[in-house]
A = this chain, B = another copy of it.
Amino acid sequence: MGQAQHISTDHISVDGAQRPLLVGIDVGGTNIKIGLVDDLGRTLAYRTLPTEPEKGAEDAARGMSDCFRQMVQETGLDVQDVVRAGLATPGPMDLSAGILLTPGNLPQWWNFPIRDRVSHHCGLPVTYANDANAAAYGEYWRGAGQGSHSMVMFTLGTGIGGGIIVDGMLVDGAHGAGSECGHIVIDPRPEARRDSLDKPGTLEAYCGSYGVVARAIEAIDVGRKSLLETQRSNGNSITPLVIARAAEAGDALAREIVLETADYLALGCVSLIHVIDPDRVVLGGAMTFGGEQASLGREFLERIRQTVPPRLLPPLRDQVNIIFATLGGDAGYIGAAGLARLEYHAHA
């Protein structure tokens, strides 16, 4: 079992916690994050477990429960204070049936009734959510979106995930598949770039890590001089991280690729702002080029902030705030706990 780690959210003591308490569980392909969270979204305790998908989903559900019970014991809590669990997993899923369908990174878990099995082992009712949606809700509740009326989040990584919260309500759709912000179409041409699912012209095709790398490689292939070309000649793969480092080292092509990514992402922001009219747009995930802490990340954000407003309808211009996420990898379990809390209070 993993150790408690530094996280960016507030930590509080058991005595200071506001009841009822929730447990938030965020299942990833590598790790499972579990946190005990109070009614105000503050973390009392936190653990990570290795996912070990090859051992099967039933084993993992049992492991989540063991971890949860151990955390309760170690913190000296009364287990009765914990009223509900929030469980976030990758999709696709059948939200209403509580079934994990066919997630690409958890092939051994396909078609597993995960909500009810986790509920059985933990002895708690479980609220089930898509992981990107849970992360967005976490940011809305306790992170970059705190205090906003409505928020759109883009999660930048291999794919482009998303989450939309309107007036406190997560937009998860009629079939639990809403907020797929990476799959909006930004290029109508049949010859447009294709994403990992072979769909042409989507935002993900241009801004997902595969699209970012492909744009760099194509530029090298037509003869652009770049540190990236040297990397490739030395047998190294070009990744978004390699591109970010080259850009930070002053490589012109790498910098261009990063800013071009900002330009494409800005189009996605423009579309979502017109559709949702949020007061915050939050950018999170692994591919924010260092985020607020890095000059490249800040330049990336600044470029988006400059590109978006001239494309907005007048009543929206200057109203929206585009910012980086603040909870990092904790957003998922905090958001899952927050969604469980919503369901608890709705029925209480």
Contact = CB atoms under 8 A, between A and B. Distances in A.
Interface in A164-181: 164, 166-167, 169, 171-181
7 contacts: A169-B169, A177-B313, A181-B275, A184-B275, A197-B313, A199-B311, A201-B267
Secondary structure of the A contact surface, majority rule: loop
A264 B79 CA distance: 55
A132 to B, nearest CB: 12
B275 A315 contact: no
A274 B150 contact: no
A276 B178 contact: yes
A130 to B, nearest CB: 10
B184 A187 contact: no
Question: How many of chain A's residues touch chain B, expressed as a range?
Answer: 35 or more
A279 B316 contact: no
A271 to B, nearest CB: 4
Contacts of A271: 183-185, 271
Nearest to A179: B275
B148 A185 contact: no
A319 B185 contact: no
Interface of A: 91-92, 101, 148-150, 162, 164, 166-167, 169, 171-181, 183-188, 197, 199-201, 206, 263-264, 267, 270-272, 274-279, 311-316, 319
A176 B316 CA distance: 9
A174 B184 CA distance: 22
Contact of A169 (B149, B162, B167): B167
B174 A148 contact: yes
A296 B281 CA distance: 41
B150 A174 contact: yes
Given A272-B275, A274-B181, A319 B166 contact: no
Nearest to A199: B311
Nearest to A319: B175
A278 B176 CA distance: 10
A156 to B, nearest CB: 16
Contacts of A186: 185-188
Contacts of A172: 277
B313 A183 contact: yes
Contacts of A275: 162, 164, 171, 178-181, 184, 272, 275-276
A64 to B, nearest CB: 25
A223 B81 CA distance: 76
A92 B312 CA distance: 13
A274 B184 contact: yes
Contacts of A274: 180-181, 183-184
Contact of A149 (B174, B197, B201): B174
Nearest to A182: B274
